Amino acid sequence: MSMSPMSTSPMSGFDVAVVGSGIIGLGAALAAHRRGQRVVVIERGSEAAGASVRNFGHLCFTPQAGLAREFALASRELWLGLASDAGVWIRESGTLVAARREDELAVLQELAAARGGAEVELLSAAEANERMPLAPGSAVGGAFLPQDLQANPRQAIGALAAYLEREGVEFRRRTAVGAVRPGRVETSRGPIDAGRVVVAVNHDIDLLYPEVAERVGIVRCALDMLRVSTELRIPLVAPLLTGWSLVRYGAFSATPAAVALRERLHAESPALAALDLNQMYTQLPDGSLIVGDTHVRGVSVAPFQAESAFESLLEVTRELFGLEHLRVIERWQGVYASGPNDFLIEEVEPGVHLASATTGIGMTTGLGLADHVVGAFEPATTTPQRGAS
């Protein structure tokens, strides 16, 4: 095993154990491996099946603010590197934003004024209608955010895990972690010793660390998602956001114009507001369209997905693109940790680090978050126990 300056584990264990193999766990494994650490990833499932494979694959760096922006920009470099190193499918697509009303355009104009044209390119009505497969003539303008990227989540997570395995990171799958103590992870297949542990279990933090989840106000957020087959007027060459997205992401929602936009959307469409809609789309390489999404939060969330929510998603999709027919290929529920802050970053016991995105931007920020957590490791203050690993 490697014995870098960060390492304090004995020969029987690992330098770093990562719990969870979603994007944040894999990001932590990548960061530790690249720092010369001996890493094991412990995953409850036979493969990752959490939020990291259920999302849009929209790497939306531009609309982030504060710490999320810092992690987003770090993630961007890492994603681009993984495209060549790990064969992760990444499209340097940018993001398209459709403004169908003047108040939506006002948010884009304010962000463009703050960030400049290199980050937010405003589109005229003619350009917006030409570049997006919207119902003809429906855009009053729009924006193109050139720095953003698109991944295919189902491909990305598998490719990254395979790359890490080729690089020598060990994976213990179908192995559930029941408890973590400094230097030791208790699993359904016995203990694993490690100098540091990164716990990246998304919403299941409320099972492993219920008192932390309660203290910081983390609950679960469940989302309805669809994949549809359809004939768009022109291909959707970049993730597409709508007015509903402009009242969500930090940098958009911080503009003064977003206040009036939110009021108008909620007054005009209370049923969609009640679904906490973020109407957005990505097109996968096979041409199918990921459609979403709705949000319901709670300490626990019902697994039963109301068909009325899917009907609303399909209705707004037909209206946006001016389509009559959509064929639903798949429906699914995604769940992520949701809290008052964007992230949970905490050394909960010596050498035990919790890392979670606590709003729906973990694909965008997760690699940067994980790199930040691992990069900040001080020499461990405890010595892991010897024994089975």
By CB under 6 A, name the binding residues for ligand FAD.
19-25, 42-45, 48, 50-52, 54-58, 176-177, 200-202, 204, 208, 223, 225, 292-293, 334-336, 356-357, 360-364, 366
Query: Measured from the CB of residue 5, what is the shortest distance to ligand FAD in angstroms?
Result: 27
Task: Answer for the pair 350, 382: CB distance below 8 angstroms, yes or no.
Answer: yes
Please identify, using beta-carbon distances, which residue of 188 and 308 lies nearer to ligand FAD. 188
Q: Helix 66-85 to helix 153-166 angle, to the nearest 10 degrees?
A: 70
Looking at the Cβ atoms of 139 and 208, the one nearer to ligand FAD is 208
Output 51 or 106, the one with its CB closest to ligand FAD: 51
HEC-encoded secondary structure of the chain: CCCCCCCCCCCCCEEEEEECCCHHHHHHHHHHHHCCCCEEEECCCCCCCCHHHHCCCEECCCCCCHHHHHHHHHHHHHHHHHHHHCCCCEECCCEEEEECCHHHHHHHHHHHHHHCCCCCEEECHHHHHHHCCCCCCCCCEEEEECCCEEECHHHHHHHHHHHHHHCCCEEECCCCEEEEECCEEEECCEEEEEEEEEECCHHHHHHHCHHHHHHHCCEEEEEEEEEEECCCCCCCCCCEECHHHHHCCHHHHCCCHHHHHHHHHHHHCHHHHHCCCCCEEEECCCCCEEEECCCEEECCCCCCCCHHHHHHHHHHHHHHHCCCCCEEEEEEEEEEEECCCCEEEEEEECCEEEEEECCCCHHHHHHHHHHHHHHCCCCCCCCCCCCCC
Q: Which is nearer to ligand FAD, 13 or 292 (CB)?
A: 292
Nearer to ligand FAD, 13 or 362 (CB): 362
- Give min distance, CB of 40 to ligand FAD, in A: 12
- Closest to ligand FAD by CB, 58 vs 262, is 58
Kindly state the smallest distance separating residue 162's Cβ from ligand FAD, in Å: 15
Nearer to ligand FAD, 179 or 259 (CB): 179
Cβ closer to ligand FAD: 29 or 123? 29
CB 18 within 8 A of CB 29: yes
